[in-house]
């Protein structure tokens, strides 16, 4: 099978490339624009086509790399929450326009299969239940509540604190920041492309990805990498809010396996289909626990500092249901985050 891998030089793209090659029998076409925010070393890896997805529908170089491709595995994106509203054009350009241009070029080249890197951020706040009113959809947390240190999500009907539930793929999409909005748009473009062209799409909604090769101290760094960098400087990791916010941390090796499974599955999928899967460990942890586990793995007896600070675009709890991915894709995470995060403390990172 000939697979076009965008974002191939990135953290996740590199891991997918290794897994794809290890599986054998595939011809991998690597594409990456080598954005400085993601790559401090501008020299691309060997066999990488340095191309911008935003140009995919208009340049002959893209037509050449798409020839004979069976499946596009689309990882290229600008990530992070988006710090200010000035970041909106950046996300819309690379993620939304880039995906639309790639899909148009794929149609022109006769490519009918796509695996899309999506994210758990498309859900906004996770799933919640009120003891009195059952499942409810909360409003975004207010600046006033966050400033006062009231971090839990409240029932819109009675004002009581809600209990978080597992989020499955049928949950409504409710993006809360620029990056999340761009990932929702990518999914919608891909679904429309599938219907209009008779193509097939599998979208993988990654939860918090970590592992060897993660970038160090860039806008692309995850919270686990930032905690580790603090410890290496002899500083306490700084944890926002009260540290009790729950997340699902999934190892990059598991994410790469999920992509390999999705590539195989989408090749057999029905024309016009779009299916999303959570890619998660299924074992949620609190952010304060992440800081503590990284410190333990680094053998640094430095307790995290719970700052009470907040970012307005952050959500409180997002905990995934791994059931659909297990039943339909055959994906189950192999790395327990409680072991993986401790090992991550001394793993090699991307400078």
Tens-digit pLDDT profile for residues 144-158: 999 999 999 999 999
User: Based on the number of CB atoms within 10 Å of its own CB, is 209 exposed (0-12), middle (13-18) or buried (19 or more)?
Assistant: buried
Q: Summarize pLDDT for 163-194 with one digit per residue, the tens.
A: 999 999 999 999 988 899 999 999 999 999 99
pLDDT given for residue 257 in this prediction:
96
Q: Convert the pLDDT of each residue in 36-76 to its tens digit.
A: 777 766 688 889 999 999 999 999 999 999 999 999 999 99
Count, residues in the chain: 351
List of residues 6+ apart from 103 with CB closer than 8 A: 114, 189, 190, 193
- List pLDDT tens digits, range 246-298: 999 999 999 999 999 999 999 999 999 999 999 999 999 999 999 999 999 99
Residues 11, 60: Cα–Cα separation, whole Å: 27
Residue 40's pLDDT is what? 67
Q: Tell me the pLDDT band of 349, cut-offs 50, 70 and 90.
A: confident
**Looking at 19-23, 30-34, 308-312, which range is the least confident one?**
19-23
* pLDDT on residue 351: 67
Q: Give me the pLDDT at residue 221, please.
A: 65
- The pTM of this model reads 0.94
More confident call, 335 vs 303:
335
Per-residue pLDDT reduced to its tens digit, 27-38: 999 999 988 777
- The confidence score (pLDDT) of residue 222 equals 82
Is residue 150 within a helix (H) or strand (E), and if so which, with residue range?
Answer: none
Written as one string, the DSSP assignment of 98-120 is HHHHHHHHHHHHT--EEEEEEEG
**For residue range 197-251, what is the model confidence (pLDDT) as tens digits?**
999 999 999 999 999 998 876 655 688 999 999 999 999 999 999 999 999 999 9
Give the pLDDT confidence score for residue 113 in this predicted structure. Answer: 98
Give CA 108 to chain center in angstroms: 28
Lowest mean per-residue pLDDT among 6-10, 252-256, 314-318: 314-318
- Model confidence over 100-145: pLDDT tens digits? 999 999 999 999 999 999 999 999 888 999 999 999 998 889 999 9
| CA pair distance 77, 38, nearest whole angstrom | 10
């Amino acid at each position: 099978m000939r697979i076009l891998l965008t974002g191939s030089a990135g953290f996740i793209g590199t891991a997918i490339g290794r897994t794809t090659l290890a599986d054998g029998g595939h011809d991998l076409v690597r594409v990456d624009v080598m954005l400085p925010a993601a790559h401090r070393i501008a020299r691309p890896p060997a066999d990488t086509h340095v191309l911008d997805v935003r140009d995919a529908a208009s340049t002959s170089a893209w037509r050449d790399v798409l020839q004979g491709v069976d499946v596009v595995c689309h990882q290229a994106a600008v990530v992070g929450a988006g710090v200010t509203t000035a970041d909106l054009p950046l996300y819309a350009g690379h993620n939304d326009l880039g995906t639309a241009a790639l899909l148009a070029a794929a149609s022109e080249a006769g490519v009918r299969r796509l695996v899309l890197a999506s994210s758990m951020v498309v859900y906004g706040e996770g799933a919640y239940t009120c003891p009195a009113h059952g499942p409810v959809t909360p409003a975004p947390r207010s600046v006033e509540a966050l400033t006062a240190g009231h971090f839990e999500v409240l029932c819109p009907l009675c004002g009581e604190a809600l209990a978080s539930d597992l989020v499955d793929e049928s949950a409504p999409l409710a993006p809360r920041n620029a990056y999340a909005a761009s990932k929702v748009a990518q999914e919608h473009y891909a679904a429309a492309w599938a219907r209009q062209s008779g193509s097939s799409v599998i979208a993988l909604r990654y939860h918090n990805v970590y592992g060897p090769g993660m970038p160090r101290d860039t806008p692309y760094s995850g919270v686990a990498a930032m905690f580790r960098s603090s410890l290496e400087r002899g500083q306490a990791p700084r944890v926002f809010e009260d540290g009790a916010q729950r997340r699902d941390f999934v190892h990059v090796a598991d994410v790469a396996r999920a992509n390999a499974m999705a590539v195989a599955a989408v090749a057999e999928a029905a024309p016009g289909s779009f299916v999303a899967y959570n890619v998660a460990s299924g074992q949620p942890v609190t952010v304060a626990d992440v800081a503590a586990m990284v410190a333990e793995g680094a053998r640094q007896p430095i307790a995290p500092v719970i700052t009470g600070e907040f970012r307005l675009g952050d959500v409180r709890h997002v905990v995934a249901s791994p059931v659909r991915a297990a039943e339909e894709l055959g994906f189950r995470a192999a790395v327990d985050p409680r072991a993986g995060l401790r090992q991550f403390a001394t793993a090699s990172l991307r400078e």
